Structure 1
Amino acid sequence: MLKNKYFDGVIEAGCDEAGRGCLAGSVYAAAVILPEGYENAELNDSKKLTSRKRNELRSVIERDAVAWAVGIVTPDEIDKINILNASFLAMHRALDALKVRPEAVIVDGNRFKPYHTLPYATIVKGDGKYLSIAAASILAKTYRDDYMERLHAEYPQYDWKGNKGYPTRHHREAIRRFGVTPYHRMSYNLLGDAEPMLPFAEEAGV
């Protein structure tokens, strides 16, 4: 069973992000406040769960949470401020959207930009240690996966339904063949080598 709280006696929000290492698509983050003393033996790091289990747990989290919200930062914003700052901004947007104001924040990882004046803690592998961070990881992952599946319908040749925008061989080969889309992060090394990138080519038959 993961731990319920890090800070004692305060309203605590757990935060995590999804999509930081992707070549395409927005980065998503979630913030979750769980009830005091909440228990759920099924909550865990989203990467350790099946897609079906993540989606099942999303409904449970949304039902049981005191408050939850998702924040999004677009590819254009990522290119302007870099992915680290974009991840922090997505978390801040999620925290801004909470219907209950947190008094402290716990974050998966080892870096975070302070949110107003609230106390915070960064916890390496926190999504496998604290329930609220695990819940946030599940929401961020499932909402981003849904978003990438919608983009897949628009650009199926990149297999975003399968790779969710991560740098798989298929994804990079599609970039070489068809060029880039408006959803690609142009500040990234999209090809993984020195080949030039082309704009999205309608003449490629897509």
Structure 2
Amino acid sequence: MPYEPPTHSVERSMRAKLGVRTVAGVDEVGRGAWAGPVTVCAAVTGLRRPPEGLTDSKLITPKRRAKMAAVLTDWVSSYALGHASNEEIDALGMTAALRLAAVRALEALPERPDAVILDGKHNYLGGSWTVRTVIKGDQSCVAVAAASVIAKVQRDGAMAELGAQCTPFAFSENAGYPSPVHRAALEEFGPTGHHRLSWSYLDALPRWQHLKKVRDGADGGEQLGFDF
């Protein structure tokens, strides 16, 4: 399916209007999963021409995505990853866990960026960061697209390693997201130590409902409507 390649237009606009020099693109993966961490990548690319074929990680086949990530990790000016574990997601809720992972990624960069382009319409970073939110930024902005690919490949690899320990759950195929095999394994074996126990999938598993964790003011349904 044809698509428009990402550009530096948002970054150029921020540089011109805000007078910033270093802009990081930020994207996450794992928000809608039942198991595993949420992973955020912060990438600084400058204004160089991006590698051919770069776009949102979800629009690239796994094989091409892995090759693109290998190219990007050398091509970007800098990048860093941040994670929030399933336990942190259960304790904090997804918005706060996303903020935690994003701050970890941004603070791990060699140089603190002057501004951030954040994929989506919600500024979950807040605080002292200068942020521009861009809907479908992982398709339209070079730095965000790069962050999208690097984050996806890194998290998928980590989930595949977990899958070797938890064979029935097929994490190497579903990366902890909902799937028929994943649901069937949950029904038979119950959640592992890698599962998010505040998530609403447990409502449909009577045998394991007693394991559900409920935070104050949370309905356990925060995985709905995101990136699976």
TM-score, normalising length from structure 1?
0.91
SS at match of 1:21: coil
The correspondence for 2:155, drawn from 139, 144, 148, is 144
The correspondence for 1:27, drawn from 14, 34, 38, is 38
Whole-angstrom distance in 2 between the partners of 1:51 and 1:101: 31
SS at match of 1:32: strand
Residue aligning to 1:45: 56
- Segments of 4+ moved more than 4 angstroms: none
The answer to whether the 8 A contact 2:26-2:143 is kept is yes
The answer to whether the 8 A contact 1:108-1:123 is kept is yes
Residue aligning to 2:28: 17
Residues 89-148 of structure 1 deviation map (CA, whole Å, 9 limit, x = unaligned): 211111010012211100111112345523211111110000100000101100000010
Q: CA deviation at 1:198?
A: 7.0
Whole-angstrom distance in 2 between the partners of 1:56 and 1:74: 27
Alignment of 1:127-138 (within 5 A): 127-138=138-149
Whole-angstrom distance in 1 between the partners of 2:145 and 2:203: 31
Residue aligning to 1:99: 110
- How many residues align structurally? 200
AA of the residue aligned to 2:178: P
The answer to whether the 8 A contact 2:40-2:81 is kept is yes
Are 2:87 and 1:76 aligned? Answer: yes
Higher helix share: 2
Residues 137-168 of structure 1 deviation map (CA, whole Å, 9 limit, x = unaligned): 10110000001000001000011111111111
Aligned pair in 2 of structure 1 residues 199, 158: CA closer, same or farther (>3 Å)? Answer: farther
Residue aligning to 1:204: none
Whole-angstrom distance in 1 between the partners of 2:66 and 2:104: 22
AA of the residue aligned to 2:106: L
TM-score, normalising length from structure 2?
0.82
Superposition CA RMSD, Å: 1.8
Unaligned ranges ≥5, structure 1: 201-206
The answer to whether the 8 A contact 2:202-2:209 is kept is no
The answer to whether the 8 A contact 1:172-1:191 is kept is no
Residue aligning to 1:3: 7
Aligned pair in 2 of structure 1 residues 84, 113: CA closer, same or farther (>3 Å)? Answer: closer
